[in-house]
Amino acid sequence: MGDFVKKYLMDFDREILIKNYLSLKSIKGVSDNIIVNLVKKYNTLQSIFEKGIDELISDFGEKIASLIDLQKVDHNFVKEELELIKKYNISMILYEDKDYPELLKQISSPPAYLYGYGDLSVLEKPMIAIVGSRRASRRGLKFAEELGMELAEVGINVVSGFAAGIDIAAHIGAMKKGSTTAIMGCGLKYVYPDSNRRYFKELVEKGCALTEFSINTKPDPYNFPKRNRIIAGLSYGVVVVEAAEKSGSLITARLAMEENRDVYAVPIWPEEKNRGTNKLIREGAKLLENYYDILEDIVKYVDNIKIIDKKDNKTNINFEDALEEKIYNALALFPKNIDELCLSINLDYVSIMNKLSMMELKGLIYIEIDGKYYIRSN
């Protein structure tokens, strides 16, 4: 038998297996949890199509067995989905596959399968998620991009939700030095939000996009909270850079906590709108200042992380005088207004104001938060 024929047969068998998953999922009432439990019991979903109703009742009870009625398969959905998978060259990761991410299997409600597009080999790397507000500050966006870049550079696959704001900043940073994975809240027929479409081609070249939603699923609002468990489930830890006190990012963080994953939060000035990260820290999240805080933890799980020393990169600044350095250091953790700087450094308003103007011109600091607070540029 030639290699081409063997490959065709392998592809044919694979298509049957995918068809089985789609068929069961198309039956009303058959959830991912039911499919996962079937695979755990029989090792492969193929067995379900060979079992009699009596055996299913014996193994799972009459209620579950009655749901698995193959007469109720939506054959039109299955046919259309298989055609779209081939048309768009989409990969399927099934729960019974050897390359189904092991960490994702450990969560309480793993998806029965995932649609993938791009380089799925990046899923073999250790993964860290970076999430945050869609309406992030310039400082938060910069931090997320740099953190994504630094983690990717040491061999970590950066996971996020492809949303505007912190998510896309993390993806952009990761693409500069390594790989990233986007967990979409819609089917792969759509790229949402449209403002991020320009990044999608590079993202799937340097990483991949994943979703549990069928290919024609639109980006409806209720999809996004559901996909957050996948972001948390794939990752050893979740970093929240900025988040409103009621937000999807906090949902992701709490899901990660429930699954015993590490959760990191970047502290925020109390008067900022995205101060939900401070609440996370009070609830037990780890305060994050730089990517070393993550590396110290992740080396407990994996041993192929390369450490790159960058500790001096951001502090190698030629200060004009001691006052300039004092002001710069005073802004290390939180933004400050002029009155707070006067108290912190114990100098008069005019002296500090003149120095702040010079530091702005040099690009060391900038003003944000209603034009009242000074923030370090680096």
Q: What is the dihedral of CA 287, 104, 36, 217, to 10 degrees?
A: 90
pTM for this model (two decimals): 0.81
Predicted confidence (pLDDT) per residue in 21-59, tens digit: 999 999 999 999 999 999 999 888 888 887 777 888 888
pLDDT at 2: 44
Q: Does residue 167 contact residue 143 with C-beta atoms inside 8 Å?
A: no
Of the pLDDT bands very low, low, confident and very high (cuts 50, 70, 90), residue 6 is: very low
Verify cis geometry, omega within 30 degrees of 0, for the bond prior to 267: no
* Average pLDDT for the chain: 89
Predicted confidence (pLDDT) per residue in 266-311, tens digit: 998 776 778 889 999 999 999 998 888 998 888 877 766 766 655 4
pLDDT at 11: 77
What is the DSSP secondary-structure string of 264-319?
EE----TTSTTBHHHHHHHTTPEE-SSTHHHHHHHTTT-S-PPP---TTTTT----
Predicted confidence (pLDDT) per residue in 311-346, tens digit: 444 456 788 898 998 898 888 767 788 888 988 888
Core vs surface per residue 60-82: b (16+ CB within 10 A) or e: beeebbebbeeeebeeeebeebe
Q: Does residue 161 contact residue 167 with C-beta atoms inside 8 Å?
A: yes
pLDDT at 89: 94
- Sketch out the chain's domains with CATH numbers: 3-87 (no CATH), 120-298 (3.40.50.450), 322-376 (1.10.10.10)
